């Protein structure tokens, strides 16, 4: 798969994260090319979610730098990073379960709203116009794109797990992202739900021009969708390259299997691809 992109939208350099005396990340460096789908993989505890939390501003690194669209974002809060065009989903669904699907999605746009709290409270004409424009965009573009019009008025608590993950993606898209961070987007999904999510991810990149950075354990999905793969183990990058290069890397084999049995991992990847998603590039 060729994204046809050369410029780096995100650059992570020598990122180190320490909790007490434990180093969760050790000099992690990688780039995310604009217009690409880049996946971060690795065994449990490798540091994948720590990387995401550091990029999105929930963790403050001990050392290193993070540049987004050519600008350092280390001193910025999560809302400030979101306003620049960095959006994410979470491994554990983080929706307001008592609110409707539409209201959850609308929350994603708050970082871009121009109406102040006072105008919103009294629902001034300017606030009303902004609200109507937002709702129209969400209903006509995002809800239609993700095929969730039939549940837009339903409370999130009444939805299946797979639909909740789709709503979370919708909320992230409402933020108008340039870079979309997806933390295990198909975890816990059945095959049909996984295929739908894979299709949406590719279309977000192709039709919306959004760059995707993804953490995922489903090797079939990773190998089918990714232009680039970064492999972590014990908080360090052990491989960085195209999917075909990474899956035959001896260090990756050792991290996943505990031994340098390249053929065993190749068979594992092949099996994952057969039973996983089948998505055209």
What's the pLDDT tens digit per position in 52-78? Answer: 999 999 999 999 999 999 999 998 999
- Asked if pLDDT for residue 241 goes beyond 50, the answer is yes
pLDDT, average across residues 25-50 = 94
pTM equals 0.81
Structural domains of the chain in order of their starting residue, each with its CATH number: 1-85+178-281 (3.40.50.300), 96-176 (no CATH)
- pLDDT given for residue 5 in this prediction: 44
Q: What's residue 138's pLDDT?
A: 77
With bands split at pLDDT 50, 70 and 90, how would you rate the model's confidence at 10? very high
The pLDDT assigned to 260 comes to 45
pLDDT beyond 60 at 273: no
In the predicted model, is pLDDT for residue 179 greater than 50? yes
For residues 98 and 155, the answer to whether their CB atoms sit within 8 Å is: yes
Q: Provide mean pLDDT across the span 159-170.
A: 89
pLDDT at residue number 127: 58
pLDDT band at 229 (very low <50, low <70, confident <90, very high): very high
């Amino acid at each position: 798969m060729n994204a046809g992109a050369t410029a780096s939208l995100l650059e992570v350099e020598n990122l180190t994260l320490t909790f007490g005396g434990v180093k969760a990340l050790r000099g992690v460096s990688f780039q995310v090319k604009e217009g690409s789908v880049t996946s971060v993989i690795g065994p449990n505890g490798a540091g994948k979610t720590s990387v995401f939390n550091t990029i999105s501003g929930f963790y403050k690194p001990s050392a290193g730098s993070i540049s987004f669209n050519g600008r350092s974002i280390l001193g910025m809060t999560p809302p400030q990073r979101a306003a620049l065009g960095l959006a994410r989903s979470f491994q554990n669904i983080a929706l307001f379960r008592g609110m409707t699907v539409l209201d959850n999605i609308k929350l994603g746009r708050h970082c871009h709203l121009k109406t102040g709290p006072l105008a919103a409270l009294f629902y001034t004409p300017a606030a009303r116009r902004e609200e109507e424009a937002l709702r129209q965009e969400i209903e006509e573009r995002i809800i239609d794109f993700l095929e969730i019009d039939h549940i837009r008025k339903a409370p999130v608590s009444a939805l299946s797990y797979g639909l909740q993950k789709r709503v979370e993606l919708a909320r992230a898209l409402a933020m108008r992202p340039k870079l979309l961070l997806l933390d295990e987007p198909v975890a816990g999904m059945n095959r049909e739900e996984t295929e739908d999510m894979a299709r949406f991810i590719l279309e977000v990149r192709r039709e919306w021009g959004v760059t995707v950075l993804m953490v995922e354990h489903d090797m079939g999905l990773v190998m089918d969708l990714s232009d680039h793969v970064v492999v972590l183990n014990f908080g360090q990058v052990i491989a960085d390259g195209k999917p075909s290069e990474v899956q035959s890397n001896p260090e990756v084999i050792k991290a996943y299997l505990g031994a340098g049995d390249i053929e065993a991992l190749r068979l594992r990847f092949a099996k994952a691809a057969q039973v996983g998603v089948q998505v055209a590039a």
